[in-house]
Amino acid sequence: MLHELERLLDGLGGWLIRADLGLGLLLVVGISMSLSHVFALFANRLAARQIIWRLVIDALVLAAAFLLTSSIDMVLLNLYGSNPVHPSAFVDGIASCLLPACFYVAVAAPYVGETMGLVIWVLMHLNVITFVHVRFDLPWDQALLLTTPGYLLAVLLVALLFRQSWQRGYAMLASELGQP
Amino acid sequence: MKGAGRLYPWSQRFNLKLLLLVLAIGLGINVVGVGHLLLAVRSALSPADLQLLLHWIGLLLLVLIPAAGIYSLVSEFAFWEGWLEGLPAPSTLFDHTPAVAASHRCYLVYLDGIHQLERDHPPRVSAFLELLEQQLAAETLLVRGLETYTVMPVALAEDAGSAWFWRRLFALQEQHPNGLVQLLAAVLVQANNVIKVGISSDRRYGPILNYELALKISLRLAELGFRPGGGSRIVLTGYSGGAEMAMGVADYLRRITQAPVSIISFCGVFSGNQVLDQLSGITTIVGSKDPVAAFGRIAYPGRSPLLPLSNWNKALSAGRIQRDCIDGMNHNGNSGPFSEPFRLRVIKAILAALALPVAAPERTGC
């Protein structure tokens, strides 16, 4: 039993070393997205220390969300694609596709921010489709079909995380105003 | 800020025609100058280096524009957090004892355009407001001098974080011998107010800024003797970007003051994103030759007929918006709403809008 656990942990360690670039990039993307959201935390009237903690936790959650969506892409490719996929190489490749999201912090800007966010999301998906098409020799339509479920999940997770925080802020505002 | 008084005559002359003239001259100089510059740069840099330089300049702009917007948000949210003193609770704003003297039945609150730098309005705007005030009914009080683009009770040149920057910019605007530098400084000062208009229209940040501005207006109304439930109504009149701020604060003001609130905009640039369905009425006075107001319809998708479910389009289809067009009126300058040929027509349109029947309290929820 212990040997089995040791073997599993060794495997995980080896994988983490091989995928360090991809994981590092995912973390940068998580931090950038978390920072873009900092005013939602201000809207909730959190203390400075709470805001820092939330930023760190949100960054980790977002990085984990992108890792999860990448793994969905990977599973779908393994099931329906023709070429074998190595996890660490895949995470590295996918993380490079998420490079535009390193600038996601700019989405915090008023008025232009949401448009920038939309452009970044579209760019990320186009990058992933192109990567899958080139790296795994899949036709464009198949690449689109296999990567879209993971992408939609990522959009949903990020939207839920951000929306929840803003809603709490607006609820606080409404409570100050009272009933109309 | 004593020096700011000298800014007004210059601000008055700052109109679209002047801007276009300066831009055309600048473009001409650039066409000649850039050719020479390119020759000099090409002798020093290879095409690949030039391309790299252009990429870096583009990237720098992509960083600087959002950074300016984000910096502008900081003071609003610091105020909301309570880190800067002065954010009152709505329940403490008004004196709830019955008024000794009869208060006014209508409070007409003027929100100025993006040229506003401090509490006092430019001379041409002041003259317009004096004329308007003379023609108002005795029961209507004109509320003027509100700093529309700051939530804090300090002028830009006294802002804790950026006073050094604004003072330097004001000095350039006033004293620099080069007209182009003066113009650029003026554009940068007004860009700050444009960012505030952007914040107000942003569905994420708008509620906080608009609420803070509604509190500021409520404080002013309380000073002037307004009492909730006293039967008075509030009319917000906004010029240019002030129209966006009016639309933003209107619903919050209605909730805080528990009074019917309506809006009269002239030459308004606004998003139409805000909650408008509980307002007593909206009147937009537009000039047939106003390119800035026309640009607002493009800049804000919420006003496009392609989005019939936007707040603006819903209010439009419900017949809550009146539109009054003044032939030949521009956005500013000698054909603007504050110019002699047009100001009386604008005032007449405002008075006509004030005379419109107010929606019943049941409908407004007040």
Which ipTM value was assigned to this complex? 0.78
Q: Which of A30-34, B43-47, B215-219, B362-366 has the lowest mean pLDDT?
A: B362-366
Looking at the structure of chain B, the number of domains it has is: 1
Chain A residue whose CA is closest to B214: A177
pLDDT digits (tens, 9 = 90+) for B105-158: 999 999 999 888 766 788 889 999 999 999 999 999 999 988 888 877 666 666
Give the residue numbers in A contacting B (CB under 8 Å), as ranges. 39-40, 42-43, 45, 103, 105-106, 108-114, 116, 166, 169-170, 173, 176-178, 180
DSSP string, B311-361: HHHHHHHTT-EEEEEETT--SSGGGSTTSHHHHHHHHHHHHHHHTSPPPPH
In this complex, which of A43, A111, A173 lies closest to B198 when CB atoms are compared? A111
Q: Which of A156-165, B73-82, B340-349 has the highest mean pLDDT?
A: B340-349
d(CA B155, CA B151): 10
Measured CA angle at B296 (ends B290, B300), to 5 deg? 165
Q: Which residue has the higher pLDDT, B81 or B354?
A: B354
Find the closest chain A residue to B59 by CA distance. A103
pLDDT for the residue numbered B343: 93
Q: Taking residues A131-138, report their average pLDDT.
A: 86
**Quick check: is A68 in a domain?**
yes
Name every chain A residue with its beta carbon within 8 A of the beta carbon of B199.
110-111
Partners of B109 in the beta sheet? B143, B236
Of B33-42, B206-215, B255-264, the one with minimum mean pLDDT is B33-42
Measured in residues, chain A has a length of: 180
Is residue B266 situated within a structural domain? yes
pLDDT band per the 50, 70, 90 thresholds, residue A46 = confident
A87-91, A157-161, B63-67, range with greatest mean pLDDT: A157-161
Which chain B residue's Cα is nearest to A106? B66
Interchain CB contacts (distance < 8 Å): A and B: 77
CA distance A31 to chain B (A): 17
- Residue A109 has its nearest CB partner, among B66, B77, B254, at B66
Q: Which residues of B touch A (CB under 8 A)?
A: 62-63, 65-67, 69-70, 72-73, 77-78, 80-82, 89-91, 195, 198-199, 201-202, 204-205, 207-208, 211, 252, 254-256, 278, 365-366
**Does pTM surpass 0.90?**
no
pLDDT band per the 50, 70, 90 thresholds, residue B266: very high
Distance CA B61, CA B64 (A): 5
More confident residue, A27 or B16: A27
- The backbone torsions φ and ψ at residue B284, rounded to the nearest 5 degrees and listed phi first, read -115, 125
Termini Cα distance of chain B: 40
CA-based radius of gyration for chain B: 22
Domain extent, residue B262, equals 65-90+105-356
| Segment B192-229, tens digit of pLDDT | 888 999 999 998 999 999 998 999 999 999 989 888 88
A166 vs B89: CB contact, 8 Å cut-off? no
Domain count, chain A: 1
Using the beta-carbon criterion (under 8 Å), do B81 and A45 form an inter-chain contact?
Answer: yes
The pLDDT assigned to B11 comes to: 43
* Contact status, residue A77 vs residue A85, Cβ threshold 8 Å: yes
Give the per-residue pLDDT at A4: 81
Judged by average pLDDT, the poorest of A117-121, B8-12, B113-117 is: B8-12
**A19 φ, ψ (degrees, to nearest 5):** -100, 20
Chain B positions touching A116 (Cβ under 8 A) are 66
Q: What are the helix (H) ranges across B14-162?
A: 16-44, 47-81, 123-135
**Interface probe with A: pick from B59, B70, B114, B253, most Cβ of A within 10 Å:** B70
How far is the alpha carbon of A170 from chain B, nearest alpha carbon, in Å?
Answer: 8
Structure tokens at A17: 């070393």
Phi, psi of A166 (to 5 degrees): -65, -40
Position A63 in a domain: yes
- Min Cα separation B157/chain A (Å): 23
| Res A180: pLDDT | 44
Tell me if B16 is assigned to some domain: no
pLDDT of residue B167: 78
Put simply, the answer to whether A109 touches B62 (Cβ < 8 Å) is no
How far apart CA B202 and CA A109 sit, in angstroms, is 10
Contact B77 A43 (CB under 8 A): yes
pLDDT, residue A173, reads 84
Residues of B in contact with A43 (CB under 8 A): 77, 80, 208
B17 assigned to some structural domain:
no
**Model confidence band, residue B235 (pLDDT cutoffs 50, 70, 90):** very high
Best B72, B81, B215 member to test A by mutation, with max A CBs in 10 Å, is B81
Q: Is the separation of the CB atoms in B45 and B53 below 8 Å?
A: yes
Q: Which helix (H) or strand (E) holds A1?
A: none
User: Residue B284: what pLDDT?
Assistant: 95
Q: What are phi and psi of B145, to 5 degrees?
A: 80, 20
* Dihedral class, residue B5 (left if φ above 0, else alpha if ψ from -120 to 50, else beta): alpha
Output b/e per residue, A78-93; b: 16+ Cβ within 10 A. eeebeeebeebebbbb
Six token digits for residue B349: 């349109």
Domain contains B287: yes
**Residue A10 domain-assigned?**
no
Predicted local confidence at residue B161, as pLDDT: 65
Q: Which residues of B touch A39 (CB under 8 A)?
A: 73, 77, 204-205
**A106 contacts B62? CB cut-off 8 A:** yes
Look at residue B286 in the predicted model and tell me its pLDDT: 93
Q: Poorest-confidence range of A83-87, A100-104, A105-109, B302-306?
A: A83-87
Domain containing residue B292: CATH number: 3.40.50.1820
> If you average pLDDT over residues B44-56, what whole number do you get?
80
Average pLDDT of the segment spanning B84-104: 72
Lowest mean per-residue pLDDT among A9-18, A143-152, B222-231: A9-18
In a domain, A8, yes or no: no
Residue in chain B lying closest to A163 (CA): B204
Residue A178 lies in a domain: no
Residues from chain B contacting residue A103 (CB–CB below 8 Å): 62
Judge: B69–A109 Cβ closer than 8 Å, yes or no.
yes
Whole-Å CA distances, B118 to B2, B121, B189, B250, B306: 11, 7, 12, 22, 38
Compare B347 and B65 and report the one with higher pLDDT: B347
Q: Is residue B78 part of a domain?
A: yes
The answer to whether the CB of B247 falls within 8 A of the CB of B177 is no
Output DSSP code: residue B155: -
Q: How far is the C-alpha of A121 from the C-alpha of A98, rounded, in Å?
A: 9
Q: How many CA atoms lie less than 13 Å away from B271 in the CB half-sphere?
A: 18
Backbone φ, ψ for residue B140 (5° rounding): -105, 130
Task: Look at residue B29 in the predicted model and tell me its pLDDT.
Answer: 63
Statement: residue A32 has pLDDT above 70 = yes
Q: How high is the pLDDT of residue B363? A: 42
Of B77, B90, B254, the CB nearest to A42: B77
In a domain, B10, yes or no: no
Structure tokens given for B106: 């209508």
Beta carbons within 8 Å of A155's beta carbon, 6+ residues apart: A121
How far apart (Å, rounded) are the C-alpha atoms in residues B224 and B93?
12
What's the domain range around A79?
A: 21-170
What does the mean pLDDT of chain B come to?
82
